[in-house]
Chain A
């Protein structure tokens, strides 16, 4: 892609960022919260997409990193009296280290085995968070000192989203990203072309773990109460996956579009039909996997609205 195109896209992101930043005062409390969670799902979907879209390792357990981040923030703020902002860095670092520990063995598994192993890893993390009383307060959860955090967390989530978009964009449009794609398409051939697949996969996995962790931390400080079922909720993984798939995994715009679209629909429906929207989620996954595996971006590409490939 030409340099001016990158600059244009960057400028677009800056404009969106600034508008969202200045809009914070104008938004109602409800709307501010809505925008915050939309941004959070953009972060989650884009992160999931780095390992599962670009690299082709579908993770059914990414909520683990989100939960770990939420706990890192809550524990440090509540039990150690930290200011909440630096805890986000710790959250990301802890998630990164755990991602290496989990990823090194588990990324040797292919396709469905990786997916299921990650589902197991996430459930396992939840169980550990429940039983490790001395650290996590167990099943009771953690209440953070109450405060009006709605503005602070809004800006933090906005900043995180901008960083995530920039990183995802950078990865997607670089030779690093192209090599991740190559691993997705044919790992053996990629290795024969000199790609150290083990290293690349691990790097992608770590990248895809740190942003959800930071998002989890912000969310903990926003909601001010966390417990294992709420932050290790399987449905969060599903949302990440579904948003990416709907928009078009393996692209940068796809997960963003998917996140905004789906979260809006979810917000509109779930107040009235709390269970129905989850049923719809399930059906959505079935329909997308069965009929349009490349998502909306795939359709746009087939129509010729968007160019093929990430690098031009």
Chain B
């Protein structure tokens, strides 16, 4: 078994090398790699931009991995929860006149309660049921959320003009202010949640439940309550991710599907149920996407393929991802 483990890890490493090399190869083929100073500056810019974006990806992937880790449920509505967060930010900015990031003070508690409700009404029934039950339930929930959002907000793309300036990192690498801000926010929140899980009593109970719900129960942990907290936290993370998305990208009700797939690809890559794996996976996917959009013709459309391709190949080569899966 050991031998297999190492073998699949090196295969995965080879896959990742190929994945990162591919945009360069395609770029060279189509003349998008020029090796001059401007191009290198562009390259550096997209890599830095990718890392910034990765923080946001990591944040919503972390929510997905939390739910999976604790309850073995794949939340197919996760992207829709991100989308919900984006709209919450949009509403607070345009209608309430509140800074979209400051608005998290009240959007996150709302999201938490929403998560608790979802857990109570729908997901408790899916814990321990065949894996598909949870997936189907959340998938249906996601659809409901998409079209409810369309009913309220229409399918128009929305953006929030926020911190439009740029930050000059070096003489020729500049990053949007909004990206830097959201990166910092993502970092603060992810690390905060990580510390909460590692250090606080409740966080430890969450991790204990993830390791083995039955043992946790025997140890006097109220597992049902942990489930509520987990989903609440996960939805809050998704909504926070949505707010950070809203200040740098356009969104409409249907963009959620993409976020679900991205988040899923990330946690597959990082190792389902792994918190740190999700963080690493987030950065890796975002950088890869940015490389694709720089060098591959039709890059912006092809970006989506990066996530799907990566996800499918990782599932086939090493379903456990980088950190190995935590299967109950």
Contact = CB atoms under 8 A, between A and B. Distances in A.
A123 B142 CA distance: 17
Interface string B266-307: 000000000000000000000000000000001001101101
Interface residues of A, number: 39
B96 interface: no
A290 B125 contact: yes
B304 A278 contact: no
A127 interface: yes
Contacts of A288: 136
Interface in B128-147: 130-137, 139-147
A283 interface: yes
A105 B315 CA distance: 10
Contacts of B258: 123
B35 to A, nearest CB: 26
Contacts of A106: 312, 316
A287 B311 CA distance: 29
A39 B261 CA distance: 32
A121 B312 contact: yes
Nearest to A234: B257
A285 B136 contact: yes
Contacts of B307: 120
A282 B140 CA distance: 4
Nearest to A139: B301
A117 B310 CA distance: 10
Contacts of B137: 285-286, 289-290
A121 B264 CA distance: 14
Question: From DSSP, what is the main secondary structure of chain A's interface residues?
Answer: helix
A105 B173 CA distance: 41
Interface stretch (A76-84, A108-116, A162-170): A108-116
Contacts of A143: none
Nearest to A279: B147
Contact of A289 (B136, B261, B304, B311): B136
B179 to A, nearest CB: 25
B24 to A, nearest CB: 19
A283 B145 CA distance: 10
A117 B76 CA distance: 12
A310 B172 CA distance: 69
B93 interface: no
Contacts of A290: 122, 125-126, 133, 137
A284 interface: yes
Contact of A124 (B133, B140, B146, B304): B304
B151 interface: yes
A155 interface: no
B176 interface: no
Instruction: State which size class the interface on B falls in.
Output: 35 or more
B309 A124 contact: yes
A102 to B, nearest CB: 9
A131 B140 contact: no
B135 A283 contact: no
Interface string B52-69: 000000000000000000
A289 B298 contact: no
B151 A130 contact: no
A123 B258 CA distance: 9
Given A120-B312, A127-B301, A286 B147 contact: no
A127 B304 contact: yes
B319 interface: yes
A276 B151 contact: yes
A121 B143 contact: no
Contact of B308 (A120, A131, A238): A120
B74 interface: yes
B148 interface: yes
A131 B315 contact: no
Contacts of B298: 131
B214 interface: no
A288 B309 CA distance: 31
Contacts of A287: 140
A105 B312 contact: yes
A106 B141 CA distance: 25
Contact of A282 (B125, B141, B309, B315): B141
B11 to A, nearest CB: 14
Given A105-B312, A120-B261, A234-B257, A112 B143 contact: no
Contacts of A276: 147, 151
A275 interface: yes
A47 interface: no
Interface in B233-260: 257-258
A284 B140 CA distance: 7
B308 A283 contact: no
A119 to B, nearest CB: 7
Nearest to A275: B151
Nearest to A276: B151
Interface of A: 58, 60, 105-106, 108-109, 111-113, 115-117, 119-121, 123-124, 127-128, 130-131, 234, 238, 245, 275-276, 278-279, 281-290, 293
16 contacts: A105-B316, A112-B131, A116-B264, A117-B311, A117-B312, A119-B257, A120-B265, A120-B312, A123-B304, A127-B302, A127-B305, A275-B151, A276-B147, A279-B148, A285-B139, A286-B137
Given A124-B305, A282-B147, A290-B133, 11 more contacts: A105-B316, A108-B316, A119-B257, A120-B261, A123-B258, A127-B302, A275-B151, A276-B147, A282-B146, A287-B140, A289-B137
Ranked nearest first, the 4 interchain pairs of A and B with the lowest CB-CB distance are A285-B140, A282-B143, A282-B144, A120-B308
